[in-house]
Amino acid sequence: MGSLVITRVRYSGNKYFYDSPVLTPGINIIVGDNGSGKSTFTYFIEYAFGGKVKPFTGDDGGGRYSLILEDSNNYVLVDFSINGVGYSIKRFIDTQEIFVDEASGTRALAVSRQSAPYIFSDWLLEKLNIPVFELNMGATHWYFNFTDLFRLLNYDQNTETRKIFKAPVAENFVADSTVIRKSIFEILLGMSSAEYFKKLDEAKAALKKRDDAKALLDNFIAHNDIDYVDNDVLANKKEDLEHLLENLESERNSYLKRNSTVDDKIGELSEIQENLLNLELEASKDRIDIVNLSSERSRVNRLHDGLLQEISQIEKIIFTHDKLDLFSMEICPFCMTDKKHIEKGFCICGSKFQDDDYEKFVYDSSEYKDILSHKKKSISAITLAKETYDEDIDKLDKKIAKNTELITEFTARLKNVISTAEFAGNSTVVDELNDRIINIREELFDVVNSLKVSVIEQRLKDDYLEKNKIFGFAQGSFNKAKIEFENNNRDTITAFNEVYSQLLAASSYKSKKAEIDEDYMPFIDEGEYKANSSEVPKRLMYYFTILSLSLKLDSVKHPRFLLIDTPEDSGIDTDHLNQNLELLDMAIDLAKDEKGFVKDYQVILTTGYGRLPAQYEKYVVEKFMEKEGNFILKPKTQDIS
């Protein structure tokens, strides 16, 4: 399993910026007034990791974050580590592409699976050692992305507390169905779900292939009257008949030649020779055209490769440009100090210039994105040109092949005309030979047909036996995975219930017995009614329990990371909220080994002033305050000359 730790969160635009302090493993707390930016901090993290944040898009029902939507050239940049290996991700606002910076270089990955076969989520899950899990639900095919699993990593304030799971990105009955939620829980808890369903799908696919092979074999036998004859016997008989036919044809041809005289075929010979000459000339011209087209295609290929390199360089520039700030138009490119008191209309060298004379060779990130888009459009046009060259060459190849067939045909006709003679022998002998040849050919046709049918039947039998064997292996693997799935589930659920029951009993809920049902939803005190404020500890302890198990059990795939945004809704009072938050320590303690060691983890919590246990003050890393004008987004100062 992988361990995810966020180390820094940044936002940058032409109008506003934010740069977080360094975040560390363990507990990190951000406090602030309502509206000062606590939730925005969590939005930045969710958006950078591929999530859909409605305030950043202006979608109906999600509010509209005007400061961000009206900013330009703006993006979120997050530094993080997985198992101690550092990475950076950068995502521009209102885009479906994430730039990933790692040791091997920088590359752009799509957010949506509809845009590319390999997306950012695949890359991230691969680093976290979580398989890209597919689920088939009748006509619906579901790929689980990191944003799905994030529903149990992020305790947000926008989701109704009683629902436990964070609301899904895709708002439809499938995305929030019981089977999807159960699968998310099973994947994160390492309950062999991915392996189980993978083996189940493999067994189903193998069964279908076996049944299809059996149906093909049965259908073939039903439509062919097959008398079993060994293929070797049929092959030997075919060879004997072919040899006999060859001898008879040779005998007939010899007899015809001995009793023939040469006829005048000069006119026909001349016509055939002229056709052959024209075809040879045309084929020669086509071969020259292929050489020329191949040369042009090679040139376009070199141009295509060059553009790919340029695109790769621009992707790296997009990621590093704003971080390094080497080309700011407010910084002197020579002494690297602020350019002050430069009169409008004058260059840095002091020369006066007109707008028409001015050329700009330094761009900001959004302009580089436009250049990247232009380059990608260019490479699409070049790809089309490559395909056109390929099509032209393919057409010429087919034309040459057709002409070659015609050349062969005319050559045969030429030989036939030359050998044509006026017959002067006994026609009865020739007729007898022709009859025997016809009979042998008919018998040979039957033998060849029987051999083909026999070969096809044997191939279908072999295919069925092979697929039946594969199904046997697949079914055996599935049965083994099913046993492991059920055993592991039982042990993991037992461990979950033990921790969850302890935490909820110590919380403001004061439960007597807590466990999860077959849908992995809390079932507490036999379903006895509790006030709305009790929904906070019920949900919060659920998340604490998963974190605790991820620290305790190696089988759990949860990346030991929690993002908790202002758990103050449902009317819970401060004392009860603090009582519940303190249980994070208990959840961590329950995961310690015999030597008191606990694995690395990270919890990022946002909350209001005075809504925090006193002993947690030491974990505060960032403060926002409305009355001091200290909001998360800070305006950029710009010199006006």
- Considering only 80-84, 216-220, 473-477, which range has the smallest mean pLDDT? 216-220
Cα Rg, the chain, nearest whole Å: 38
pLDDT in tens, 147-160: 999 999 999 988 88
Residue 564: the pLDDT is 94
* pLDDT reading at 47 higher than 60: yes
Alpha helices, DSSP H only, in 420-534? 427-506
Alpha-carbon distance of 521 to 178, in angstroms, equals 10
DSSP 8-state secondary structure symbol assigned to residue 22? P
* pLDDT reading at 403 higher than 80: yes
* pLDDT reading at 62 higher than 70: no
Alpha-carbon distance of 269 to 480, in angstroms, equals 77
* pLDDT reading at 424 higher than 60: no
Residue 421: the pLDDT is 47
Whether 544 and 26 have beta carbons less than 8 Å apart is answered as no
Alpha-carbon distance of 527 to 620, in angstroms, equals 37
Whether 462 and 520 have beta carbons less than 8 Å apart is answered as no
Higher-scoring residue by pLDDT: 441, 130 = 130
Alpha-carbon distance of 185 to 164, in angstroms, equals 11
- Considering only 108-122, 143-157, 293-307, which range has the smallest mean pLDDT? 293-307
Q: Say what percent of the chain tops pLDDT 90.
A: 34
Residue 355: the pLDDT is 54
Q: What is the mean pLDDT of residues 17-46?
A: 94
Tell which phi-psi region holds residue 50, choosing left (phi > 0), alpha (psi between -120 and 50) or beta: left
The secondary structure of 380-417, three-state, reads HHHHHHHHHHHHHHHHHHHHHHHHHHHHHHHHHHHHHH
Q: What is the mean pLDDT of residues 524-542?
A: 84
What is the band of 622 on the pLDDT scale with cuts at 50, 70, 90? very high
Sheet arrangement for strand 26-32: 154-155, 561-565, 602-607, 26-32, 620-624
Question: How is residue 97 written in tokens?
Answer: 């592409």
- Considering only 341-345, 421-425, 455-459, which range has the smallest mean pLDDT? 421-425
Alpha helices, DSSP H only, in 169-230? 178-188, 193-222
Higher-scoring residue by pLDDT: 637, 88 = 88
Ranked by mean pLDDT, the top range of 168-182, 231-245, 344-358, 598-612 is 598-612
Residue 353: the pLDDT is 60
Whether 504 and 545 have beta carbons less than 8 Å apart is answered as no
pLDDT in tens, 249-291: 787 777 666 665 555 555 666 677 777 778 777 887 888 888 8
* pLDDT reading at 25 higher than 60: yes
Higher-scoring residue by pLDDT: 298, 21 = 21
Alpha-carbon distance of 159 to 46, in angstroms, equals 15
Residue 641: the pLDDT is 36
Higher-scoring residue by pLDDT: 347, 129 = 129
Q: How far apart are the first and last CA of the chain?
A: 55
Whether 516 and 522 have beta carbons less than 8 Å apart is answered as yes
Q: To 5 degrees, how large is the angle CA 19–CA 22–CA 26?
A: 135
Question: Three-state SS for 196?
Answer: helix
Q: What is the biggest distance separating any 2 CA atoms in the chain, rounded to whole angstroms?
A: 124
Neighbours of 284 (CB within 10 A): 10
Q: Enumerate residues 6+ apart whose C-beta is below 8 A from 138.
A: none
Pairing of strands 85-92, 97-102: antiparallel
DSSP 8-state secondary structure symbol assigned to residue 564? E
Whether 77 and 148 have beta carbons less than 8 Å apart is answered as no
pLDDT in tens, 555-608: 899 999 999 997 766 567 888 889 999 999 999 999 998 888 999 999 999 998
The predicted model scores a pTM of 0.66
362: nearest Cα among 338, 333, 341:
333
Question: How is residue 218 written in tokens?
Answer: 């049965």
Question: Three-state SS for 75?
Answer: strand
Report the chain's mean pLDDT, rounded to a whole number: 82
What is the band of 504 on the pLDDT scale with cuts at 50, 70, 90? very high
* pLDDT reading at 640 higher than 50: no
Question: Looking up tokens 């009793």, which residue turns up?
Answer: 259
pLDDT in tens, 309-323: 887 887 787 777 665
What is the band of 240 on the pLDDT scale with cuts at 50, 70, 90? confident
Whether 559 and 2 have beta carbons less than 8 Å apart is answered as yes
pLDDT in tens, 462-493: 888 998 999 899 999 989 888 887 887 888 89
- Can you name the residues that pair with 76 across neighbouring β-strands? 11, 91
